[in-house]
Structure formats: C-alpha cells, structure tokens
Amino acid sequence: MRANVHWIGAVDWDRRLFDELIPLPDGTSYNAYLVKGNEKTVLIDTVDPTMANVLIDNLHQMKVKNIDYVITNHAEQDHSGMLPQVLKLYPNAMVVATPRCRSLLIELLLIPESKIITVEDRENLSLGDKTLEFVHAPWVHWPETMLTYLKEDKILFTCDLFGSHLATSDLYVKDWSTVYEAAKRYYAEIMMPFRTVIQKNLEKIQELQIDLVAPSHGPIYEKPMLIFKAYEEWVYAPPKNIVVLPYISMHGSTKKIVEYFVAALVERGITVKQFNLTKTDIGKLATALVDATTIVMGSPTVLVGPHPNVIYAAYLTNALRPKLKFASIIGSYGWGGRMIEQITGMLSNLDVELLKPVIIKGYPKEKDFKALDKLADDILNKHKHSIH
C-alpha cells in the first residue's frame, strides 16, 4: 500500500450471510493492516475467526516476529475475534482501543484488562518514524468505534465506516459502479440508522488530509472523494421521487391491487421499487430505502393482521430509519382485521405522515381502483411539495 504499510486481511468469497441476518450476495472481506514504524509494529484490526488461518499465514509469510500494538477500531468479532489468538502468538502485544471498546473486549472476548491500553479522542501513538492518531467515532455502528489515521502516509483506517461487503481480488477500487452498489447496500444495512452521527463524523474527518481510505470490508479508496461524495448524498440529500413497495400476495387479490397501483404511480411519473417479499433479497429493499420518499406496504390479512413477511419488512424499515416522509398501506381482507394499526404501530421510529390506506374486501373492484388512483394522486401531490 505504502512503504511499510501492508494489507494482510482475508477475502471471504463464499460467505452468504452476515450476523445470520444480512445477505452477502458478493461475499465480503475482513481487512487487517500491518504498519511497521522504525520502532514499533502495529496490526490494525484482525479478521473474522472463520478466516483465522489466512491471517496467521499472512503474518508468517511476512515474517512478523513481533507486534507491539493491535489497534482495535471496533469490538465486533469480524474484526476483533482473532485478538485472543493474536495475543497468544505475540505475547508482547498490547491492544489499543477506546475506553468503551475496552469494556466490550473484556466482556465479549475475555481479553484481560491488563492487555488493553485506552486512547482518548485525537491521542497520538508514535511508532518511531510513523504516527497514529485516533479519532473517536462513536456509533458507526457500535458505541465504541474509532478511526485510526496514519499521519505520515495520510491513510485513514475506518473499519466499518465506508466499507462494502464485496469479495474482490482488487485491493483498491477499480470498478467504481460495482463498489458503489456494494457500498450503498452496506450503508443501507449497517450505517443508515446512524445518519445523524455519521454527519458529525464526516465533518470531523474533513480536518484530516486523506490520501487513502482503508476500510475493514471491501476495497481501499485511492480517491477518497468517491466514497465521501457518495456518503454525503446518502446522508444529506433530500429523498427522491421514489415509492418503495414491499408486498406479499397469497391468492392474487393483493397482487392485482399492487399491479394496478404501481401502474397508477408510474403514470404519474413516480419511480416505483417493488419487492415481492417471498422472493426479494432484503438488502435490495434496504438499499432502495436510502433514496425513497414514500413506502407503501402491500399485504393480505392473515389471522387478523398483516402477513408475517410484511411485519418483518415493517420492522426492518423502522429499524433502518431511512429518510422516508410518507407511508401508506394497501391490501386485502376477507372478514376483518387490524392490519393498519399493526403496521403503523411498527413504524414509530420514522417521521412519516400516514396517507390514507386502501384496504379492500376481497378482489379489487371499480370503486377500489378509484381509491388506489386517489392514493396515487395524494402521493404525487405530497412528493411535489416535499421534494426540492
């Protein structure tokens, strides 16, 4: 990467699920970095324990005899999980972390207290001819996180922030459109709930001169402005003229309602991103939520409530806290139910206005199509007045 700065992580081409929750259609990587000063050697982050052999082989191949510090930017185990093994291999090594990270490492990985040095925001650590500066960046996406800036080489090691779940043989970003999609998906799934603190962190790192952004997932940025500009757009820009429509249909009524309604929105010049929840990858749904102004959930009635997959989509949307401004519900029922209350009750984190839902008895009829047209008109009007 630079003189005496090396990538020594692992590319996980085969992993397809992260945290037993997030689909990884393109695999991922766990980037660890070795920085050798003329006095001290540091390892920045480790790798997921499933890739233990790769990290250990890399250390052996590079003939690393001694590690003075293991910089732990984040306590989540895909980066910290190898700490116990690394400390066994390099018994002189001390872990460097924020005070909050220290307590998590003790609790999660049983690291002895005596092995951890805590660092304050903007504290420096000299490696001889190289200097590390630690920048506390809480809540990207855990409370204990920090970034590490290598001053002489102008490299910012950002751990999860600016990452992408993308297995690639490219150490640096080469194919920006592919990385952009993976980084946006990553932002949507992991960072979006923390938009407001990310704003503060983006402001904080503007003070640094940065030549390389080296995250702990996905390729390294030689042109940091690519990812900075993308984050500015995702974090700050107003939402677009887009409706996201996750739905389920059991016997075809809701499907007909969705088809009619999507056509009505498209006629009005609104972009629709439609997701059949029996088939969709939830990462695609999360990504679509980054730019959407409105969500409309489509559901049949199951045991007086929405279909469980719709409940999951509502829960996920609420947890991810996208920029949405409006919400509504369309769907069908046979003999009654409390679908509207149940779905709206799950969207309490969102600052959305509820537009009058259209819940139809059985298969849609002429008057129902009119109600759907009216909802499409309402959305168009709301978008006209709220998107600048």
Q: Which of 235, 237, 236, 260 is nearest to 247 (CA)?
A: 260
| Nearest residue to ligand FEO, scored by beta-carbon proximity | 76
Which of 79, 130, 307, 325 forms a contact with ligand FEO (CB under 6 A)?
Answer: 79
68 or 160, CB closer to ligand FEO? 160
Count the residues of the shown chain that bind ligand FEO, applying the rule CB under 6 A. 8
193 or 300, CB closer to ligand FEO? 193
d(CA 226, CA 231): 9
Q: Tell me phi and psi for residue 201, to 5 degrees.
A: -70, -35
Q: What's the CA angle centered on 346, arms 343 and 349, to 5 degrees?
A: 135
216 or 294, CB closer to ligand FEO? 216
Determine the interface stretch with ligand FEO among 72-80, 95-103, 323-331, 332-340 (rule: CB under 6 A): 72-80
Which of 15, 36, 74, 195 forms a contact with ligand FEO (CB under 6 A)?
Answer: 74
d(CA 127, CA 280): 49
184 or 217, CB closer to ligand FEO? 217
d(CA 180, CA 382): 30
Classify 208 as helix, strand or coil. Answer: coil
d(CA 300, CA 250): 7
Which of 26, 78, 144, 189 forms a contact with ligand FEO (CB under 6 A)?
Answer: 78
String marking each residue 197-216 x if it binds ligand FEO according to CB under 6 A: -------------------x
Angle between the N-to-C axes of helices 176-186 and 282-289, in degrees from 0 to 180, rounded to the nearest 10: 90
Token pair 């990462």 in the structure block, residue: 283
Which of 76, 144, 189, 291 forms a contact with ligand FEO (CB under 6 A)?
Answer: 76
Rounded to a whole number of angstroms, the minimum distance from the CB of residue 25 to ligand FEO is 17
Structure tokens at 323: 């920029």
Determine the interface stretch with ligand FEO among 57-65, 71-79, 150-158, 358-366 (rule: CB under 6 A): 71-79
Determine the interface stretch with ligand FEO among 73-81, 125-133, 220-228, 378-386 (rule: CB under 6 A): 73-81
Q: Residue type at 167? A: A
Which of 195, 217, 273, 323 forms a contact with ligand FEO (CB under 6 A)?
Answer: 217
Rounded to a whole number of angstroms, the minimum distance from the CB of residue 76 to ligand FEO is 4
**Cα separations in angstroms, 202 against 86, 196, 235, 288, 309:** 32, 10, 10, 23, 35
79 or 185, CB closer to ligand FEO? 79
Check: CB of residue 327 under 8 Å from CB of residue 298: no
Rounded to a whole number of angstroms, the minimum distance from the CB of residue 77 to ligand FEO is 8
Residue 200, Cβ neighbours under 10 Å: how many? 13
Classify 3 as helix, strand or coil. Answer: coil
String marking each residue 129-168 x if it binds ligand FEO according to CB under 6 A: ------------x------------------x--------
Report, in angstroms and rounded to the nearest whole number, the Rg of the chain calculated over CA atoms.
24
73 or 318, CB closer to ligand FEO? 73
31 or 249, CB closer to ligand FEO? 31
216 or 332, CB closer to ligand FEO? 216
Rounded to a whole number of angstroms, the minimum distance from the CB of residue 167 to ligand FEO is 14
Does 185 engage in binding with ligand FEO (CB under 6 A)? Answer: no
Token pair 């730019």 in the structure block, residue: 291
Q: Tell me phi and psi for residue 125, to 5 degrees.
A: -135, 120
d(CA 15, CA 124): 36
Q: How long a stretch of residues is the chain?
A: 388
Residues in touch with ligand FEO (CB under 6 A): 74, 76, 78-79, 141, 160, 216-217
